[in-house]
Amino acid sequence: MSREATINTKTVAKNALLEAGMRVMIEKGYSNTGIQEVLDATNVPKGSFYYYFDSKEDFALQIIDYFDRAGEEFMSKFLDNKNVSPLERLKLYCQEKKKMLESDHCRKGCLIGNLSQEMSDQSEVLRARLEEVLTKYRNRLARCIKEGQEKGEINSALDHIQLAEFFQSGMHGAVMRAKTTKTSAPLQSFFDIIFGQILKA
Amino acid sequence: MSREATINTKTVAKNALLEAGMRVMIEKGYSNTGIQEVLDATNVPKGSFYYYFDSKEDFALQIIDYFDRAGEEFMSKFLDNKNVSPLERLKLYCQEKKKMLESDHCRKGCLIGNLSQEMSDQSEVLRARLEEVLTKYRNRLARCIKEGQEKGEINSALDHIQLAEFFQSGMHGAVMRAKTTKTSAPLQSFFDIIFGQILKA
């Protein structure tokens, strides 16, 4: 095999492990995710896991990065869409989140939220990375909220960062509750209040 | 030993296991809690765990009940205190929650919230029990909110159950975020908005 083909095979194998790991970890959490289970879900030869990852913690860190690339794209698609107003962007973003949760039958939720809850006290390395990602997402939401405030369509009485923080953590709480009730009603109820009472100009 | 003394010893041993189990599980989660670790933290003879509990799942169920007894008492102390107005009761309840989180250095959080996040997709038995407890707590909050609405000190534009749902899940989300930032600021920020913008009559 040429050097390029080898690099390509390695990238494919690594991505397969990240994809499978992400799928298992989002549903079962970090502690409950077995490396063997992840390997079984891929065609990657057993025993090669530690060729790609230093440890399970390193695997989780790289899963977070892998998830984050898709997360960034997802946020960009909705929050940077200049064809619609900032408030409308936020609404469409929320509708899509709800649709995704429903298509998962209110299972799984958000990888970043789940790992934050589970791992913030267990691994300083994961906590720090999760905080970084959450802050980045919050800042994206804040930017959109600020644009809406400048256009006069979002309540300007509150700081855009504080609003975004509230929006983000409220959504995580509502997703958590939706997972427990196995209905998306808590998410809808959250949207009704956040748009009807808080963001409303 | 008399029959009574035996029963008493058994109750003490069982409660010691529940107390130790609760302490470990609130910080480490269900999957990451080892029975051996719990036994090591008590003076209960090894091997007697399955005398008291059918399984780890049954242990968690009984830990939830054990936590719930204290949770009920805690809510009652604040939300049924007729010496202060309903809105003031909610504020004192929130202040106490924040104080507790701070005294834990923003670790642990809420056992019910943590297990909901971690176990709702993993155990139908735990999910159903967690939902029951969360709904009960929400209804307690709702009752206090309704009283405040009747007194005219809480916004009546929204249904008391919906407000309580928002309050509860928003608080869980804020605690989750506080665990990740290791500061209580997200909780304070949540209180500022919920009292300043949403509950305000």
| pLDDT at residue B87, as a whole number | 98
Q: How far is the C-alpha of B179 from the C-alpha of A121, rounded, in Å? A: 7
- Shortest alpha-carbon distance between residue B10 and chain A (Å): 32
| Cβ within 8 Å, pair B171-A174 | no
**Residue with tokens 């799928």, as numbered in its chain:** A23
Classify residue B30 by its DSSP letter. Answer: S
CA B201/CA B196 separation, integer angstroms: 10
Check whether B147 has a pLDDT greater than 80: yes
Which residues of chain A have a CB within 8 Å of the CB of B117?
A: 109, 113-114, 117-118, 176, 179
Q: What are the φ and ψ backbone dihedral angles of A200, each rounded to 5 degrees?
A: -50, 125
Model confidence over A160-169: pLDDT tens digits? 999 999 999 9
Of A28, A177, A197, the CB nearest to B169: A177
Pick the closest to residue A133 from B190, B175, B180 (CA basis): B180
Q: In angstroms, what CA-CA distances link A142 with A114, A139, B22?
A: 22, 5, 38
Q: At what angle do helices A160-181 and B111-119 cross, to 10 degrees?
A: 70
Which residue in B70, B76, B63 sits closest to B29, CA to CA? B63
**From the CA of B50, how many Å to the nearest CA of chain A?**
22
Residue of A nearest to B117 (CA): A176
Cα B113–Cα B114–Cα B118 angle in degrees, nearest 5: 115
Q: In this structure, what are the phi and psi dihedrals at residue B109, rounded to the nearest 5 degrees?
A: 80, -140
Please, which residues have CB within 8 angstroms of residue B155's CB and are 6 or more apart in sequence? B149, B163, B198, B199, B200, B201
Size of interface A-B (CB pairs under 8 A): 146
Query: In terms of C-beta distances under 8 Å and separation of at least 24 residues, what long-range contacts does A80-86 make, across chains too?
Result: A85/A148, A85/A151, A85/A153, A86/A144, A86/A145, A86/A147, A86/A148, A86/A151, A86/A153, A86/A154
State how far residue A179 is from chain B, nearest Cα, in angstroms.
Answer: 6
A127 conformational bin, left if phi > 0, alpha if psi -120 to 50, beta if neither: alpha
What residues in A contact B176, CB-CB < 8 Å? Answer: 113, 116-117, 169, 172-173, 176
Asked if B127 lies within 8 A of A162 by C-beta distance, the reply is: no
- The answer to whether B176 contacts A114, with C-beta atoms less than 8 Å apart, is no
Q: How far apart are CA B107 and CA A88, in angstroms?
A: 37
- What's the confidence (pLDDT) of residue A79? 98
Helix (H, G, I), strand (E, B) or coil at A197: helix
Query: Which pLDDT score, from 0 to 100, does residue B131 have?
Result: 98
pLDDT digits (tens, 9 = 90+) for B66-78: 999 999 999 999 9
Residue A109 confidence class, pLDDT cut points 50, 70, 90 = very high
Sequence-ordered list of residues with C-beta below 8 angstroms from that of A48, at least 6 positions apart, any chain: A13
The residue length of chain A stands at: 201
**A contacts of B107 (beta carbons < 8 Å):** 120-121
Q: Is B91 on the interface with A (CB under 8 A)?
A: no
Which residue, A164, A172, A199, A167, is CA-closest to A101? A172
List the single residue in A31, A134, A179 with the smallest CB-CB distance to B180.
A134
Would you place residue A15 in the very low, low, confident or very high pLDDT band (cuts 50, 70, 90)? very high
* B129 vs A47, residue with greater confidence: B129
This prediction's pTM: 0.94
Q: What integer best gives the mean pLDDT of chain B?
A: 95
Indicate the residue of A121, A170, A177 with minimum beta-carbon distance to B179: A121
Q: In this structure, are residues B175 and B110 in contact, taking their beta carbons and an 8 Å threshold? A: yes
**pLDDT band for position B25 (50/70/90)?**
very high
Closest approach of chain A CAs to the CA of B42, in angstroms? 22
Distance from CA of A80 to the nearest CA of B (A): 25
Q: How far is A171 from chain B (nearest CA, A)?
A: 7
B63-112 tens-digit pLDDT = 999 999 999 999 999 999 999 999 999 999 999 999 999 999 999 999 99
Mutation target for A interface from B120, B156, B158: give the one with most A CBs within 10 A.
Answer: B120
- Residue, of A3 and A166, whose pLDDT is higher: A166
Which are the contacts of B33, defined by CB distance < 8 A and separation ≥ 6? B21, B24, B25, B56
Give the C-alpha separation, B103 to B106, whole Å.
7
Q: Which domains does chain A have, with CATH numbers?
A: 56-198 (1.10.357.10)
Q: Could you say which residues from 125 to 154 on chain B have a Cβ atom under 8 Å away from some Cβ of chain A?
A: 127, 130-131, 134
Cα separation, B1 vs B135, whole angstroms: 43
Which one of A117, A138, A139, A162 would you mutate to disrupt binding with B, by most B Cβ within 10 Å of its Cβ? A117
Write the residue in B169, B181, B192 that is nearest to A173 by C-beta.
Answer: B169
pLDDT at A1: 67
Distance CA A54, CA A163 (A): 39
For B158, nearest residue in chain A (alpha carbons) = A193
B73 touches A at CB < 8 Å: no
Separation of alpha carbons B158 and A135, rounded Å: 31
On the question of pLDDT at A3 being above 80, the answer is: no
Measured distance CA(B130)–CA(A155) in Å, rounded:
36
Place of tokens 């035996």: B6
Touching check for A181 and chain B: CB below 8 Å?
yes
> Does A100 touch chain B if contact means CB atoms closer than 8 Å?
no
Task: Record the tokens describing residue A151, joined without a space.
Answer: 């256009």
Q: Please provide residue B104's backbone torsions phi and psi, each rounded to the nearest 5 degrees.
A: -95, 10
Q: Are A184 and A178 in contact (CB under 8 A)?
A: yes
Asked whether residue A135 carries a pLDDT value surpassing 90, the answer given is yes
Interacting residues of A26 by C-beta distance below 8 A, sequence separation 6+: A108, A109, A110, A111, A114
